[in-house]
Amino acid sequence: MKDFTLRRTSLYIPGNNPGMLVNAAVFGADSVIFDLEDAIPLAEKDSARILVRNALRSLRYPGVEVTVRVNSLSTPFGRADFEEIVPLGPSAFRLPKCERAADLREADELITELEGRSKIPAGSVKIIPIIETALGGSNLLEIARSSDRIVALNYGAEDYTADLGAVRTREGRELDDIRARTVMAARIAGVQALDSVFTDVNDSEGLFAEVVRIRELGFDGKSVIHPRQVAVVHRAFTPSDREISFAQRVLKAMEEAAVKNSGVLSLDGRMVDAPVVAKARKILALAEAGRGVKKEGTRHEE
Amino acid sequence: MKNKPQGRVLPEKIEGYGVVRPYGLSSVHTPEIKGKDPSGSSRKVLSSLEEAFRRSEIRDGMTVSFHHHLRDGDLVVNMALDVLAGMGIKDLILAPSALFPVHEDILRHVRSGTVRSIQGSVNGPVGRAASGGLFDVPIILRSHGGRVRAMETGELAVDVAVLAAPTVDEMGNVSGVYGPSACGSLGYAFADARYAKHVIAVTDNLVPYPAIPFSLPQTEVDWVVPVDRIGVPEKIVSGTLRITRDPLRLVIAEQVARVIEESGLFEDGFSMQAGAGGISLAASAFVRERMKARGITGSFISGGITGQSVEMLEEGLFTSLLDVQSFDLEAAASLARNPRHAEMGASFYASTASKGCVVDMLDVAVLGATQVDTSFNVNVNTESDGVLLHGIGGHMDTAAGSRLSVIVTPLLRGRMPMVVDHVHTITTPGETVDVVVTERGVAVNPRRKDLLENLRGKGIPLLDITDLKRMAEEMTGIPAPIPFGERIIGVVEYRDGSVIDVIRQRL
C-alpha cells in the first residue's frame, strides 16, 4: 500500500455551505470531501470554489484528511477548480467521472504544473478517482495504475447504475460486480478501495449491514453524505474481539521470532507471512480508531 | 347579652382556656361560605376583568403577576393590560414568571405609563426595549426559584395575580390539564395563587363544581372571570417535539450523553433534568439508549417535561416525573392520567426559602448558554451583542443544586465565539458549573478533579476551557467590545436574592 491513511469514512461537505465548511472537522469522519461538483448548482460553481478556497486558506482541520471533489476537466469548471485549490495543498482531489487512464494523466500533469508554480512539493497532492460509468468500470485497472498520486479507488453508485440501466435496491445486488472489480483493481495497484454512499440517511440498520458486507469484500472505507452516518460506519469497521486478539497474537509471535532470529514464523500450526502480519496491523489500527483513541489524541495535540 | 349567644350563658373567661369569644356576637362573624350568596350561586364569578380588578382594589403603582404556562399562545397578559390601561391605572409593576414574543404589547403600555417596571423575567422584544433604555427603573431578573423565594420572603409582594385558568369551577379550583387552552402543569402559578393578596382566575372553560383534579385550590382564588378565549392552543403546547437533525447539535448531544455515562453518577437511582432545547432533547435521547443498554433504572426527571420524558417513564427507565411545566401535548396528557407523573410548584422545585427543593436531589442538569467564560461563568440573559433577550428560567437553580451541571453550547454561533474571557452578564456563577460541552471539546471545571479523573481515557475530547476559547477566537477573531452606557437597565438577582450582576444600557 502506498499510504496508511485511515479512510473508513469520507464525509461529503457541500462547498457552498459555510457553516458545514467551518465545522467539517467535528463530525468524526476520517476524511472530508469539500464538494464542488454534483452538490453545487451551476449558478454557484464560482462562489463554492471561492468559499472552499478560503476555508482551506484560513481554517484548520485537525485530525481529518481534507480532500476536494473538483469538477471533471471535461467541464468548463474543472480547470479553474484545480488552479484555485492546488496552491492550498489539499491532501487529495476526488476526481469524478474517470473513464480512461488519459483522464488521470491529464489531471496529474495539471497538478504537477500547479504544484511547481505554487512551490509545494511535487506529488504531495494525491488523487482518488471516482468511477461512474460502465466504461470507467471496464478500465478500472488501467485507471488505478495511471498515476503515482492515486491512493484509493472509489466508484459512484448512483451514476454508475444509471449508466448501466440497473435498478437500485436496498441490498445493493446491482453493485456486486463493480464492488468486486474495484477491490481487485485496488489491490493490484496497491491502493485503498472505497465504497460509494448509502443514500437513506434514516436507515442506520441498512447502512450498518451494508458496511459489514463491504468490509468483508475488502473495502477500506465508504463515502457518507450525512454526519449521522459516520458513527455507524465506524462501528461496522471496528474489528471483533476475536479478530483483535488474533492480531495481537500474530504481532507477539512475530516479535518473538525476531528475537530468536528465526526466519519462518508459525502460529497455531499455521504459517504467518507478510500479508498476515500486514492484516494484523490493519486490524489493530482499526480497533484503536474504533475506540476513539485517535480522535482524543489528535484533539489534545491541537 | 354579651355572654348569651343563642340563649346560652357563657363565662367571659374559662380557666385553662382563656377569654371566650361568644358565637354570633364577634366582629369576625361569618357563618356563610365566602364564595356563595344565599341563592346558592357563586359570588366569585364576575362578568368582567374590570370588575375583578375593581373588587381587588387595584390602584396605581401596584404589583400584578402572571404565570407563563400558555407560553406564546397567551392572551391573558395583553387582555389584562388593556383593561388596566382602560381603567386609567398607572405605574404598575409586572411580575410575570416569564414573557414571550406575544407580549410585545407591554411596550405600548410602558410608553403610555400604565406599566412602570418588570420583576421576574423578560424575553425578546421587551428585553430588547429594556436594553435600549425604555424603562425608568431597572428590570429585576429572577430565576424560577428566586422569584418564588422573593414571594415567600415578602420581597416581591404581589397585589393582584391574574392567572390564566384552562379549567376552573365557580369556586376557583383551577386545572391546567383540561380545556381548550390546556397547558398541563401550572407549577409556576402555585406561588402567585398562594401569596398574592388578590387572585383572579381568567378562563375560557368554566365547569360545574368541583373541578377535579385541580392544581390551584379554591381557598386561594378570589375571583373567576369567564372570557371567550385565554389562549391559542397551537402556540401553548407543541405537538411531538422532534429530536434535532442538526448534525452539530447531535455531536454535542452525543458528547453530553458520554459525559453523563462516565460521570460516576450513571447508576440505578440516577436523576436528571434536560429541558426541551434542541441539544437537551437529543442528549436525553442518547441517555435513554445508554440507560437501556446498561439496564439502569433512574429515579426522576424534573423540570420542564416532554413527550420523551413520558416515554422514558412508561418504559420504566425512570420511576417518576416532577413536572413544573409541560412542554408538549404528550406531557400534558400524561400528567392527567399517570399518578407517577406529578405536578410540582416552583417552590418545591427550586426555592432556597423552602425546607428543601427538588434541585437539591438532582444528579444531572443539562443547561444551555448564550456565553460561557474561562471562569465557567454562564450568561443566559444577554446575547453576544449585549442586548437583554432572555429570562433566567431555572438555570442558576439547577446548576447550584445538581451534582453535575452540564453546560451545552456550540463553540460558534454565526461568527461569534461562545467561549470568551468574560461573559457580558453573569447569570450562573462558575463555581456552580461543572462541565462545558461543545462540538469541539469538553472542558471540566478544574474544581472538579474527581470528574476529570472519571472522564479521562474514555474517548471524550477533554480540553482546557482556555483552549476552547482560543480555538473559537482562531476562527472568529476577537469581537470588538460592545458599547455599553453607564445606566443600569437590569439587575440579575441570584437565587438567594443577592445581586450577581447588572446589565447596562446598550448604546
Contact B461 A299 (CB under 8 A): yes
Whether A191 and A295 share a structural domain: no
End-to-end CA, chain A = 28
Asked if B58 reaches chain A (Cβ–Cβ under 8 Å), the answer is no
- Is residue A160 situated within a structural domain? yes
Grid cell digits, residue A145: 495504475
Enumerate residues 6+ apart whose C-beta is below 8 A from B293. Answer: none
**CB contacts, 8 Å: A299 with chain B:** 440-441, 461, 463
**Collapsed DSSP state (helix, strand, coil) of residue B415:** coil
The yes-or-no verdict on residue A296 having pLDDT over 50 is no
The DSSP secondary-structure symbol of B491 reads E
Inspect the interface and report whether the beta carbons of B474 and A28 lie closer than 8 Å.
no
B49-236 is classed in which CATH architecture?
3-Layer(aba) Sandwich (3.40)
Interface of A with B (CB under 8 A): 19, 22-23, 25-28, 59-60, 226-228, 231, 291-293, 295-296, 299-300, 302
Q: Is residue A163 part of a domain?
A: yes
A223 and A257 together in one domain: no
* pLDDT value, residue A300: 30
Total of domains in chain A: 2
Check whether residue A176 and residue A48 sit in a common domain.
yes
pLDDT digits (tens, 9 = 90+) for B249-263: 999 999 999 999 999
Which residues are CB-neighbours of A213 under 8 A, at least 6 positions away?
Answer: none
**Is the torsion defined by CA of B140, B146, B148, B154 positive or negative?**
negative
Q: Lowest-confidence range among A254-263, B119-128, B418-427?
A: A254-263
Burial of B434 by CB count in 10 Å (0-12 exposed, 13-18 middle, 19+ buried)?
buried
User: Smallest Cα–Cα separation from A88: which of A122, A127, A39, A55?
Assistant: A55
How far are the Cα atoms of B149, B153, B155, B175, B363 from residue B353, in angstroms, in the given order? Answer: 5, 8, 12, 26, 21
CA quadruple A45, A51, A56, A61: dihedral sign: negative
By the CB < 8 Å criterion, does B249 face chain A? no
Q: Where does a domain end: A237, A260, A288?
A: A237
In a domain, A53, yes or no: yes
Question: Max CA-CA distance within chain A?
Answer: 67
**Residue that wins the pLDDT comparison between B507 and B407:** B407
End-to-end CA distance of chain B: 74
Kindly report the number of other CB atoms within 10 A of residue A26's CB atom. 22
Q: Do the domain assignments include residue A108? A: yes
HSE value, Cβ hemisphere, 13 Å, CA-based, for B5: 11
Range name among A155-164, A233-242, B366-375 with the lowest pLDDT average: A233-242
Percent share of chain B, pLDDT over 70? 95
Amino acid at residue number A286 = L
Going by C-alpha positions, the residue among A160, A111, A112, A169 that lies closest to residue A140 is A160
Q: Cα torsion for A52, A53, A57, A63, to the nearest 10°? A: 40
Strands A126-131 and A92-95, sheet pairing: parallel
pLDDT at position B456 over 70 = yes
Least confident of A185-189, A239-243, B68-72, B171-175: A239-243
Q: Give mean pLDDT, residues B72-96.
A: 98
More confident residue, B346 or A171: B346
Q: Is residue A301 predicted with pLDDT exceeding 60?
A: no
Q: Are A214 and A240 in contact (CB under 8 A)?
A: no
What is residue B245's predicted lDDT score, i.e. its pLDDT?
Answer: 83
As a residue count, chain B comes to 507
CB atoms near residue A177 (< 10 Å):
13
> DSSP readout, B340-371?
TEEE--HHHHH-TTSS--GGGG-SEEEE--SE
B452: amino acid identity, one letter: L
pLDDT at B34: 59
Residue from the list A227, A295, A302 with its beta carbon closest to the beta carbon of B247? A227
Q: Are residues A202 and A287 in the same domain?
A: no
A110-114, B316-320, B467-471, B477-481: the lowest-pLDDT one? B477-481
Mean model confidence pLDDT for chain B: 94
Contact A191, A1 (CB under 8 A): yes
Residues facing A35 on adjacent strands: A14, A69
* Residue A153 φ/ψ region, left for φ over 0, alpha for ψ in the -120 to 50 degree band, beta for the rest: beta
Q: How many CB atoms lie within 10 A of CB A230?
A: 21
Range with lowest mean pLDDT among B4-18, B202-216, B270-284, B447-461: B4-18
**A53-108 pLDDT, tens per residue?**
999 999 989 889 999 999 999 999 999 999 999 999 999 999 999 999 999 999 99
Q: What was the pLDDT predicted at B4?
A: 67
pLDDT at A161: 96
Other C-beta atoms lying within 10 Å of the C-beta of residue B429: 17
**pLDDT tens-digit series, residues B148-169:** 999 999 999 999 999 999 999 9
Residue B160 CA to its chain's centroid (Å): 19
Which pLDDT value is given to residue B1?
44
| Pair (A222, A264) in one structural domain | no
Q: How far is CA B94 from CA A209, B78, B501, in A?
A: 59, 12, 21
User: What cell does B368 get?
Assistant: 444551555
Q: Are A198 and A206 in contact (CB under 8 A)?
A: yes
Question: For residue A114, what pLDDT is reported?
Answer: 97
Spatial distance between the Cα atoms of A205 and A233, rounded to a whole number of angstroms: 10
Range in A170-179, B84-93, B497-506 with the lowest mean pLDDT: A170-179
Region(s) of chain B under CATH 3.40.1080.10: 49-236, 247-480+491-500
Q: Where are the beta strands (DSSP E) in B306-434?
A: 318-326, 341-343, 364-367, 371-373, 378-379, 404-408, 412-413, 416-417, 419-420
What pLDDT score was predicted for residue A170?
Answer: 82
Mutate to test the interface with A, among B409, B475, B476 (most CBs of A within 10 A): B475
Farthest-apart Cα atoms in chain B, separation: 92
- Quick: pLDDT tens for A176-190: 999 999 999 999 999
Which pLDDT belongs to residue B146?
98
The Cα B126–Cα B108 span in angstroms is 10
Q: Which residue of B has its CA nearest to A297?
A: B461
pLDDT band at B238 (very low <50, low <70, confident <90, very high): confident
Rounded to the nearest 10 degrees, the angle between the axes of helix B278-294 and helix B307-314 is: 10
| A161 lies in some domain | yes
At B186-199, the pLDDT tens digits run: 999 999 999 999 99
What's the rounded Cα separation, in Å, for the pair B461 and A288? 15
**H or E segment and range at residue B304:** strand B298-305
Q: How far is CA B72 from the centre of its chain?
A: 14
Average pLDDT over residues B403-416: 94
Mutate to test the interface with A, among B245, B258, B279 (most CBs of A within 10 A): B245
Dihedral pair phi/psi, residue B471, rounded to 5°: -60, -45
User: What is the value of ipTM here, to two decimals?
Assistant: 0.78
Euclidean distance between CA atoms A283 and B468, whole angstroms: 33
CB A215 within 8 Å of CB A290: no
Residue contacts between A and B (CB atoms, under 8 Å): 40
The residue range of the domain holding A248 is 241-301
Counting Cβ atoms within 10 Å, is residue A163 exposed (0-12), middle (13-18) or buried (19+)?
Answer: middle
The pLDDT assigned to B276 comes to 78
Give yes or no for a contact between A96 and A72, defined as CB atoms under 8 angstroms apart: yes
Instruction: Select from A202, A237, A272 the last residue of a domain.
Output: A237
Cell (9 digits) for B317: 427507565
> Domain check: are A47 and A35 in the same one?
yes
Q: How far apart are CA A138 and CA A164, in angstroms?
A: 12
**pLDDT score of B224 more than 60:** yes
Residue B334 contacts residue B301 (beta carbons within 8 Å): no
B275 has pLDDT over 90: no
Q: How many CB atoms lie within 10 A of CB A57?
A: 9
Residue A298 has pLDDT above 50, yes or no: no
Q: Calculate the CA A153 to chain-centre distance.
A: 7
Shared domain check, A133 and A184: yes
Query: Are A170 and A251 part of one and the same domain?
Result: no
Q: What is the pLDDT of residues B47-58, one digit of tens each?
A: 999 999 999 999
Residue B250: its chain A contacts at CB < 8 A? 227-228
Would you call B11 helix, strand, or coil by DSSP? coil
> Does one domain contain both A74 and A217?
yes
A2 within some domain: no
The reply to whether A245 and A189 lie within a common domain is: no
Residue B414 is predicted with a pLDDT of 84
Distances (CA, A) of A94 to A149, B2, B17, B29: 11, 105, 97, 92
Distance of alpha carbon B383 from alpha carbon A194, whole angstroms: 45
Take residue B53 and report the three cell numbers written for it. 380588578
* Closest Cβ opposite residue A228 in set B250, B440, B471: B250
Per-residue confidence (pLDDT) for residue B39, from 0 to 100 = 65
> Average pLDDT of chain A?
90
Whether residues A296 and B461 touch (CB distance < 8 A) is answered with yes
Cell numbers for B175, please give them.
Answer: 386545572
Residue A3 resides in a domain: no
Which of B491, B437, B421 shows the shortest CA–CA distance to B122?
B491
> Is A222 in the same domain as A295?
no
Give the domain-ending residue among A203, A219, A237: A237
Which CATH number does the domain housing residue A126 bear? 3.20.20.60
Q: Which residues of B touch A59 (CB under 8 A)?
A: 475
- Mean pLDDT in residue range A10-18: 96
> What is the structure's pLDDT at B9?
87
Count CB neighbours of B210 within 10 A. 12
d(CA A182, CA A175): 10
In a domain, A174, yes or no: yes
Could you give the CA distance from residue B492 to residue B500 in angstroms, rounded to a whole number?
A: 6
Q: Which CATH number fits domain B247-480+491-500: 3.40.50.970, 3.40.50.300, 3.40.50.1100, 3.40.1080.10?
A: 3.40.1080.10
CA dist A37 and A72 (Å) reads: 8
Tens of pLDDT along A250-294? 888 888 877 777 666 778 777 788 888 888 888 888 888 877 544
Q: Distance (Å) from the C-alpha of residue A14 to the closest C-alpha of chain B?
A: 14
Residue A194 banded pLDDT, cuts 50, 70, 90: very high
Of A22, A23, A299, the CB nearest to B441: A299
Q: What is the DSSP string of A103-129?
A: HHHHHHHHHHHHHHHTT--TT-SEEEE
What confidence tens digit (pLDDT) does each residue in A153-175 have?
A: 999 999 999 999 999 988 889 99
H or E, element range at A217: helix A204-217
Rounded Cα gap, residues B70 and B64, in angstroms:
17
- Please tell me if residue B472 touches chain A, with a CB cutoff of 8 Å: no
Q: How far apart are CA B96 and CA B259, in angstroms?
A: 35
Q: Are both A271 and A222 inside the same structural domain? A: no
Nearest to B65 by CA among B176, B140, B167: B140
